[in-house]
């Protein structure tokens, strides 16, 4: 509704409330409107003020709140959660908003497109303010998800900022490089690592396209081992347990006076086999856990540096156990999975090496004091790193291990002479720097996998994506989604706040679409019959 129409409605409504249901000519003379215009406004007022709360929405403050309500529902539920226009229309009708706002499914779809266009405009405007500091480093993760066509996702893992999220015809190296932000090189980004499932196109993207190292994703490494080996162990144990139950049932039915020694021998053999499978399954789980606990830049037991050579040796020591298990369980597919893991050991170690190189280079820019550098690298960073790992993990036994490592590192920090020598402000500054640096080390692309899962859910709910809809979801992820500390991905990456996305979109809406009143509803309105001249 335009401001002029709303003003005229207010004039008619004010006169009606003070003078009652006067004749059309009296109202027209008092307001300076035509009789037909007064009649139309009477109809509109009667339709809008059907409910006790409706009158408040006709005030300036009430209408502003109504605009906020409608845009917020479309923004948070229609766009972010994928709720359909029919459900939104039913909701607005249930809260009696349909008498003031055009809330049919068609009107709401059009309003949704307007909100999406405002979000895209916001993204374009903020792109001009999203510039890295000179030489700013990033630790990227990349993966594809499929909804008929592949959708490529390139994310900065520490902040969660999405650089690329687009549906393409293929997932070749040339396609990946063409989807890199056009301002990537001129902006001065420095990529220190690309974590992926090590598809050929992604390895080439890391080494050739971005000029960095390709790091094997620990999540995919463990999953590739678990598919043939862990599954085979589970199936074998289930079969042996079934055999044991069947033999025990037969033994219980046999006569106690004449037990069957052959049956008892079979049962004892099956129980022994069952225990062997349980022991092997435990060895497999311990080996998987050892892999997970090893892929860190610090040694979990000693808290000291762990270099790439140390990690390679530690992971290689687990290969005999995995090969022995794969020989007994899983067959050729399990042996192939172990061989793939062996080939990925150098790629896992490259991640640790890349992070240490980044940390030492960044530290040399902050200070040239060798004593401070040693204190930061060997005393402060272990405590901050293990504290972050303890906060992130949800697995109870892993959380306990990380908490113990953080406690030991904190005791070492408190015993260090440099901790007591530095000023409190300097210690706090180094803690902030160390937290950012520890957060930069990412050994999995779990954030990308989580994003793929969200896209799959939205794709199913919305029955597909348009290019604008996918762009809108990317902008929402970067500038609207907040972590518990209240920061967005863009704020974490660029180091400064951005205007609130919802408030920016809301500021573009001062009017809402008017509701339509059908002829049948007019005929049923008692005010209509009284207002029409005989």
In a 10 Å sphere around its CB, with 0-12 CB exposed, 13-18 middle and 19+ buried, how is residue 397 labelled?
A: exposed
**Token pair listed for 323:** 């090969």
Task: Report the range of poorest mean pLDDT among 169-178, 285-294, 453-462.
Answer: 453-462
Predicted confidence at residue 531, as pLDDT, reads 38
Predicted confidence at residue 16, as pLDDT, reads 54
pLDDT tens-digit readout, 147-173: 878 899 999 999 999 999 998 888 899
Q: Which has more pLDDT, 431 or 446?
A: 431
**Token pair listed for 352:** 């640790």
In this prediction, residue 261 has a pLDDT band, given cuts at 50, 70 and 90, of confident
pLDDT at 1 over 70: no
pLDDT at 17 over 60: no
Cβ partners under 8 Å of residue 496, min gap 6: none
pLDDT at 53 over 90: no
pLDDT at 532 over 50: no
Say whether 495 sits in a helix, a strand or coil: coil
Cα 481 to Cα 502: distance, rounded to the nearest angstrom: 11
Q: Which has more pLDDT, 265 or 215?
A: 215
Predicted confidence at residue 42, as pLDDT, reads 63
Strand pairing of 149-156 and 137-147? antiparallel
pLDDT, mean over the chain? 86
Say whether 159 sits in a helix, a strand or coil: coil
Q: Which has more pLDDT, 499 or 180?
A: 499
pLDDT at 21 over 80: no
| DSSP state, residue 132 | P
| DSSP state, residue 298 | B
pLDDT, mean of residues 84-93: 93
**Token pair listed for 115:** 């909100």
pLDDT, mean of residues 312-317: 95
Strand pairing of 149-156 and 161-167? antiparallel
Predicted confidence at residue 76, as pLDDT, reads 95
pLDDT at 533 over 50: no
CB 234 within 8 A of CB 336: no
In a 10 Å sphere around its CB, with 0-12 CB exposed, 13-18 middle and 19+ buried, how is residue 78 labelled?
A: buried
The predicted model scores a pTM of 0.82
Cα 472 to Cα 444: distance, rounded to the nearest angstrom: 26
pLDDT, mean of residues 255-269: 77
pLDDT at 523 over 80: no
**Token pair listed for 87:** 């459900």
Strand pairing of 190-196 and 137-147? parallel
- Work out the angle at residue 105's Cα, subtended by the Cα atoms of residues 103 and 110, and round it to the nearest 5 degrees: 85
Closest C-alpha to 139, from 384, 434, 352: 352
Question: What domains are defined for the chain?
Answer: 3-127+509-531 (no CATH), 137-217+445-497 (3.30.420.10)
In this prediction, residue 43 has a pLDDT band, given cuts at 50, 70 and 90, of low
């Amino acid at each position: 509704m335009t401001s002029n129409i709303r003003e005229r409605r207010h004039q008619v409504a004010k006169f009606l409330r003070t003078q009652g249901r006067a004749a059309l000519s009296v109202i027209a003379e008092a307001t300076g409107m035509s009789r037909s215009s007064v009649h139309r406004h009477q109809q509109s007022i009667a339709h809008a003020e059907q409910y006790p709360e409706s009158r408040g929405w006709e005030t300036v403050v009430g209408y502003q709140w109504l605009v906020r309500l409608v845009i917020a529902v479309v923004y948070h539920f229609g766009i972010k959660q994928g709720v359909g226009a029919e459900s939104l229309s039913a909701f607005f009708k249930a809260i009696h908003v349909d008498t003031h706002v055009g809330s049919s499914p068609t009107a709401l779809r059009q309003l949704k497109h307007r909100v999406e266009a405002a979000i895209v405009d916001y993204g374009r405007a903020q792109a001009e303010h999203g510039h890295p500091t000179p030489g700013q480093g990033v630790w990227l993760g990349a993966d594809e998800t499929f909804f008929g066509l592949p959708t490529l996702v390139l994310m900065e893992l520490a902040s969660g900022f999405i650089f690329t999220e687009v549906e393409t015809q293929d997932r070749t190296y040339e396609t990946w490089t063409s989807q890199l932000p056009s301002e990537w090189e001129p902006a001065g980004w420095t990529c220190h690592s690309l974590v992926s499932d090590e598809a050929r196109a992604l390895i080439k993207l890391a080494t050739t396209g971005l000029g960095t190292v390709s790091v094997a994703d620990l999540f995919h490494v463990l999953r590739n081992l678990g598919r043939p080996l862990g599954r085979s162990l589970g199936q074998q144990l289930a079969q042996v347990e079934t055999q044991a139950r069947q033999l025990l049932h037969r033994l219980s039915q046999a006569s106690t006076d004449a037990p069957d020694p052959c049956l008892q021998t079979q049962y004892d053999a099956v129980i022994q086999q069952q225990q062997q499978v349980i022991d092997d399954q435990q060895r497999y789980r311990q080996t998987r856990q050892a892999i997970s606990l090893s892929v860190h830049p610090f040694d979990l037991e000693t808290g000291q540096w762990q270099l790439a050579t140390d990690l390679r040796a530690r992971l290689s020591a687990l290969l005999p156990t995995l090969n022995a298990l794969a020989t007994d369980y899983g067959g050729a597919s399990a042996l192939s999975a172990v061989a793939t893991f062996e080939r990925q050991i150098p790629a896992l170690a490259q991640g640790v090496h890349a992070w240490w190189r980044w940390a030492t280079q960044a530290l040399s820019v902050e200070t040239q004091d060798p004593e401070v550098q040693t204190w930061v690298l060997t005393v402060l960073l272990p405590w901050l790193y293990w504290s972050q790992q303890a906060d992130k993990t949800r697995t109870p036994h892993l959380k306990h291990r990380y908490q113990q490592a953080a406690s030991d590192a904190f005791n070492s920090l408190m015993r260090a002479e440099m901790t007591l020598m530095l000023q409190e402000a300097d210690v706090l500054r180094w803690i902030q720097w160390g937290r950012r640096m520890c957060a930069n080390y990412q050994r999995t692309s779990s954030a990308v996998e989580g994003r793929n899962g969200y896209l799959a859910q939205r794709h199913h709910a919305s029955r597909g994506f348009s290019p604008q809809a996918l762009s809108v979801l990317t902008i929402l992820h970067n500038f609207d989604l907040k972590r518990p500390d209240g920061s967005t991905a863009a704020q974490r990456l660029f180091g400064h706040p951005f205007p609130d996305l919802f408030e920016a979109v809301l500021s573009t809406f001062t009017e809402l679409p008017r509701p339509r009143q059908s002829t049948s509803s007019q005929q049923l309105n008692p005010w209509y019959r009284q207002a029409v001249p005989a």
